[in-house]
Amino acid sequence: MMIRGVLFDMDGVLVDTEKLYNRFWVEAAAEFGFHMTKADALALRAANSDVAVQYLHGRFGPGFDYFEVRARRRVLMEAYTDRCGVEPKKGAVQLPSRLRELGYRTALATASPEERVRKYLGPLGLLPCFDAFVYGPEVRRGKPEPDIYLAAAKKLDLPPDACIALEDSPSGILSCSRAGCLPVFVPDLDGPDAETEKLLFACVTSLDDIVPLLAGQGNGDGT
C-alpha cells in the first residue's frame, strides 16, 4: 500500500530530551538510595508503567517505588527544562512542514501529555505542522502496546499500513509494529538491537533521511 501518513514520536525523535530523561532518572533514583545506571534508564524509554515496574523490581527489588521515583524525576526535569528549554533533533524543525507540502498526512503519537507537548514543540513552531495529535493519557495502554499508533492512524483517517512511524526506542518500534504501521528507526542514544531490527521497515541516520526514503515509495498525494 502507498504510504500516505507519517506518525512521529516526540522524545528522542523531534526533541533531544531522552538524554535528560536518562540524567534525571539516575538522579531521582539516587535520592531514594538506588544506583540506577544509564542502561537502566534506557530500559524504561517509552515503556508503560507495567513494563517499567516489572523491570525495576527485577533490577532493584520490590522496594523500588516506580511512581514515587518517577514523580521526583518529573520535578527535576521540569525545573531544568523551565530554565533551559529543549533542543530540536537534526531535521526536526523542517521535516513536518515539508511532508505536508508533499501531500503526506502527519500526526504526533507521544506518551507525553498535551501540556508538555505544547511546552516543547510550541517554541519550535511545530504545533501547526501536524494534522492530528494523540497524547499518552488518551489511550488505555501505553507503548509497547499498539493503542497510540492505532489511534493516530485513525485520526488521520488512514489504515495503519499506509503510515510510517518514526521511533527511537525498541518499545516504540514494537508499538507501531503491533499496530500494523511501517516502523522506521531514527537512532538517538543507541541503535536498534537485533530483535528490533527484525521489525523495521527502515533505519535512517536522522530525520533528514525521511523525505529521500519516501521518494522511492510514492508521494502522499498519490503521484
DSSP code string of 3-25: --EEEE--BTTTBS-HHHHHHHH
pLDDT for position 219: 52
Label residue 43 by pLDDT band (50, 70, 90): confident
Asked if residue 9 has pLDDT above 80, the reply is: yes
pLDDT averaged over every residue in the chain = 93
pLDDT tens digits, residue range 79-113? 999 999 999 999 999 999 999 999 999 999 999 99
Count of alpha carbons within 13 angstroms of residue 49, beta-carbon side: 11
In whole angstroms, what is the distance from residue 116 CA to residue 199 CA? 29
Percent of the chain with pLDDT over 90: 87
Q: Which residues pair with 184 in a beta bridge?
A: 166, 202
Cβ 14 vs Cβ 88: under 8 Å: yes
Quote the CA–CA distance of 101 and 220 in Å, as a whole number: 10
Residue 81 and residue 105 in contact, taking contact as beta carbons nearer than 8 Å: no
Tell me which long-range contacts 68-75 makes (C-beta under 8 A, separation of at least 24).
Answer: 68/32, 69/25, 69/28, 69/29, 69/32, 69/34, 70/28, 72/28, 72/31, 72/32, 73/21, 73/24, 73/25, 73/27, 73/28, 73/29
Is it the case that residue 131 has pLDDT exceeding 50?
A: yes
Residue 222 has pLDDT above 50, yes or no: no
**Bigger pLDDT: 223 vs 46:** 46
Domain ranges of the chain: 5-16+87-215, 18-84
Instruction: Flag whether pLDDT at 46 surpasses 80.
Output: no
pLDDT of residue 223: 41
C-alpha 163/C-alpha 134 separation (Å) is 15
Output the pLDDT for position 194. 94
Residue 40: what pLDDT?
94
Taking 60 as the threshold, does the pLDDT of residue 221 lie above it?
Answer: no
pTM value is 0.88
Q: How far apart are CA 91 and CA 106, in angstroms?
A: 15
Q: What confidence category does residue 212 fall into, taking pLDDT thresholds of 50, 70 and 90?
A: very high
Average pLDDT estimate for 216-221 = 61
- CATH homologous superfamily of 5-16+87-215: HAD superfamily/HAD-like (3.40.50.1000)
**The pLDDT of residue 21:** 92
pLDDT at residue 184, rounded to an integer: 98
- 33: burial class by Cβ within 10 Å (0-12, 13-18, 19+)? exposed
Indicate whether 58 pLDDT > 90: yes
Contact by Cβ (8 Å): 46, 143: yes
Query: Is it the case that residue 56 has pLDDT exceeding 60?
Result: yes
Burial code (b: 16+ CB inside 10 Å, e: under 16) for 112-126 equals beeebbebbbeebeb
Pairing of strands 182-185, 5-8: unpaired
Question: What is the distance between the alpha carbons of residues 136 and 50, in angstroms, rounded to a whole number?
Answer: 14
pLDDT at 13 over 50: yes
Q: What is the pLDDT of residues 178-197, one digit of tens each?
A: 999 999 999 998 889 999 99
